[in-house]
């Protein structure tokens, strides 16, 4: 086992965190570019957003495949293969000339982006001692957030300096570096025991999870919350790019710094759950998202920024609690139960644009908030149902 504060711990944790930055930067860098792509290709917000959501869709669908394959083939080998695939597809994005080819290579890239989220935690759980695991997971989650923020900021900045496509060159270099450090510093698995891949068993495990009310409700809460939260950022980008704000791509990218309050929400999630029960704490996170969303309607640009800071806190509070709830209440095949949560999570992100588009056409940003309030009200009801089921089981 790799012990906390050992040289092997710091080397392997750094390699995994660098890979996480590369993966989540590549996943999210398209978001601040959407207004620019809409102008360049002459497409509607919904149409152009497919260049972003196709990545989250393919990532979500690939998770179940990678989780099962890594059990049979091994963690490091599959992780390195997916990072290489990510790097090659990122390079191909530097060469695209049409929107259809952009969407195609984003789909290919999304399929490879799912490798790290499916494998990293499993590798850490097998190879690290318990103190090392707790610290390494904290580092890894922080790297996820850092990757998402830095990718968006870099994309917006480079779009203002020259061309939206420029961002894929440093992303290709970052991908190559992540491949090297994973190859060089991630030790070969010593605790891993290969399990033959059985499609029937994998399908049976997933069907079992979907029939557990405590899990299914949590999957729906996580997916539907992300459906609204992530796509609010997509539509607000078009608001900020238009009059009266007329913000550049780099300034729109700065809005994603609001994700930083999510780190605080994640850190406080355990304490709040101890005070209010996990379903109650998840409901509190949704109420905070509701308040943050409504605030964006009140006071110009500063109201928008403050509203997104508040919503981010509430979202990551709820997301952290939902993730841990799934792990605690899965009675078997915990890895596939967690992977299924992420499938719902990323599928929600992928279809959120379709859900919010009619509201956007009806009343622009006010319509998006109306649609958001409806969906958050639904997930708040699901939290109440989850709380009731928990109470029934405790009796």
The packing angle between helices 7-28 and 130-161, to 10°, is 40
pTM, whole model, 2 decimals?
0.88
With tokens 């989540």, the residue in question is 24
DSSP state of 97: -
Query: What phi and psi values does residue 2 have, to the nearest 5 degrees?
Result: -90, 125
Q: How far apart are CA 263 and CA 259, in angstroms?
A: 7
> In the numeric block, which tokens belong to residue 370?
């109306």
Residue 360's pLDDT is: 96
Yes or no: is domain 1-185 CATH 3.40.220.10?
no
Q: How far apart are CA 9 and CA 272, in angstroms?
A: 30
* 129 three-class SS: coil
From first to last of the 395 residues of the chain, give the pLDDT tens digit: 888 889 999 999 999 999 999 999 999 999 999 999 999 999 999 999 999 999 999 999 998 888 778 777 778 899 999 999 999 999 999 999 999 999 999 999 999 999 999 888 888 878 888 888 878 877 887 788 889 999 999 999 998 887 899 999 999 999 999 999 999 999 987 776 767 777 788 888 889 999 999 999 999 999 999 999 999 999 999 999 999 999 998 899 899 999 888 878 777 777 777 787 889 999 999 999 999 999 999 878 999 999 999 999 999 889 988 888 887 888 887 778 888 999 999 999 999 999 999 999 999 999 999 999 999 999 999 999 999 998 888 76
- Residue ranges covered by each domain of the chain: 1-185, 198-395
Measured over the CA atoms of residue 196, residue 197, residue 202 and residue 203, the dihedral's sign is negative
Q: CATH topology of 1-185 equal to that of 198-395?
A: yes
The packing angle between helices 75-93 and 115-127, to 10°, is 150
User: The domain at 198-395 falls in which architecture?
Assistant: Up-down Bundle (1.20)
> In the numeric block, which tokens belong to residue 5?
């504060």
| Neighbouring C-alpha atoms within 13 Å toward the C-beta of 150 | 17
The secondary element (H helix, E strand) that includes residue 100 is helix 99-113
**Of the candidates 53, 106, 8, 69, the residue with the CA atom closest to the CA atom of residue 346:** 53
């Amino acid at each position: 086992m790799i012990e906390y504060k050992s040289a092997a711990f710091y080397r392997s944790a750094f390699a995994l965190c660098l890979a996480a930055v590369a993966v989540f930067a590549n996943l999210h860098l398209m978001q601040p570019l959407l207004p620019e792509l809409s102008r360049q290709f002459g497409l509607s917000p919904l149409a152009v957003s497919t260049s972003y959501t196709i990545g989250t869709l393919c990532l979500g669908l690939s998770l179940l495949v990678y989780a099962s394959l890594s059990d049979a083939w091994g963690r490091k080998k599959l992780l390195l293969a997916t990072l290489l695939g990510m790097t090659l597809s990122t390079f191909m994005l530097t060469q695209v000339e049409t929107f259809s080819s952009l969407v195609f290579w984003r789909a290919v890239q999304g399929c490879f982006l799912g490798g790290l989220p499916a494998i990293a935690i499993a590798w850490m759980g097998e190879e690290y001692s318990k103190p090392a695991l707790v610290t390494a997971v904290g580092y890894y989650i922080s790297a996820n957030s850092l990757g998402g923020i830095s990718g968006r900021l870099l994309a917006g900045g480079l779009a203002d300096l020259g061309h939206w496509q420029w961002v894929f060159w440093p992303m290709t270099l970052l991908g190559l570096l992540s491949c090297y450090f994973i190859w060089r510093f991630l030790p070969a698995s010593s605790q891993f025991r290969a399990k033959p891949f059985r499609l029937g068993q994998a399908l049976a495990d997933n069907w079992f999870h979907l029939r557990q009310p405590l899990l299914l409700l949590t999957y729906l809460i996580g997916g539907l919350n992300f459906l609204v939260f992530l796509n609010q950022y997509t539509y607000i980008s078009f608001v900020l790019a238009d009059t009266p704000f007329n913000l550049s791509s780099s300034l729109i990218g700065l809005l994603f710094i609001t994700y930083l309050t999510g780190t605080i929400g994640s850190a406080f999630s355990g304490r709040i759950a101890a005070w209010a029960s996990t379903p109650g704490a998840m409901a509190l996170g949704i109420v905070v998202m509701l308040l943050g969303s409504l605030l964006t309607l009140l006071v110009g640009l500063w109201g928008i920024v403050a509203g997104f800071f508040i919503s981010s806190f509430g979202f990551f509070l709820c997301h952290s609690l939902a993730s841990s709830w799934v792990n605690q209440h899965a009675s078997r095949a915990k890895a596939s139960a967690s992977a299924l949560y992420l499938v719902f999570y990323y599928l929600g992100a992928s279809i959120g644009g379709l859900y919010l588009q009619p509201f956007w056409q009806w009343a622009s940003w006010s319509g998006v908030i109306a649609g958001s309030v409806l969906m958050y009200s639904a997930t708040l009801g699901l939290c109440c149902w989850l709380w009731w089921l928990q109470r029934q089981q405790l009796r």
